[in-house]
Amino acid sequence: MSTLYQIVDSLSQILERAEEQGGELSDEDFSLLNELEGSFDEKGENIVKTIRSLLADAKRDREEAQFFQRRAQTAQKRAEWLKGYLLNEMEHLGLQKKQFGIFPTAVRTSPMPRVEVTDLASVPEKYTVTTLEVLKKDAIADHRKGTQIPGLVFKYGKFLKIG
């Protein structure tokens, strides 16, 4: 069986010959055209079926990934809560070290402090950064109204819609 591009190439050749002959097709070309159109339709249908199947697989895999991501987050949060619980109870008893079965456990102070910002305006400029960001949704809205915006190029992509 021919590939889609081979079918399209053959169809193009027949249509070019017909154009050269003033729009007339020989009986042989007409028969071949009908056969190729049938092959094109069949090949196209098979491709669309494959696309639908792949999209369904992708959706299922994304849903499964989300399920496992939520499960991993829940386990991570539970483990962090339990660590905090044990830390709190060890501190309450004044314990710095404790052996739980085969697990040596110790209360430690982190070597790096955590920074909390209480008043951003009073932080010296050398410790802050300012970033510029393009408001793309606003730019698109103005572009659709006909506004020319320097420094921006608006590109339209093509896509295949399968009903």
d(CA 134, CA 154): 13
Do the domain assignments include residue 157? no
Do the domain assignments include residue 87? yes
Do the domain assignments include residue 158? no
**Which residue, 52, 8, 39, is CA-closest to 163?**
52
Selected residue with higher pLDDT from 31 and 74? 74
Do the domain assignments include residue 154? no
Rg (CA), the chain: 33
| Average pLDDT score, the chain | 90
Residue 16's pLDDT band (cuts 50, 70, 90): confident
pLDDT digits (tens, 9 = 90+) for 40-62: 888 888 889 999 999 999 999 99
The pLDDT, as a whole number, for residue 133 is 94
Number of alpha carbons in the 13 Å side-chain half-sphere of residue 25: 13
d(CA 47, CA 41): 10
Do the domain assignments include residue 160? no
pLDDT at 161 over 70: yes
Residues in contact with 47: Cβ distance below 8 Å, sequence separation at least 6, in sequence order: 4
Residue 148's pLDDT band (cuts 50, 70, 90): very high
| Residue 97: its H or E element | strand 97-100
The pLDDT, as a whole number, for residue 77 is 97
Q: Where in the sequence is the domain holding 100, given as residue range(s)?
A: 4-108+124-144
The pLDDT, as a whole number, for residue 57 is 96
Question: Whole-prediction pTM value?
Answer: 0.57
Do the domain assignments include residue 162? no
Do the domain assignments include residue 156? no
Do the domain assignments include residue 32? yes
* Proportion of the chain above pLDDT 90, given as a percent: 61
Q: How many domains is the chain partitioned into structurally?
A: 1
Selected residue with higher pLDDT from 58 and 112? 58
The pLDDT, as a whole number, for residue 1 is 59
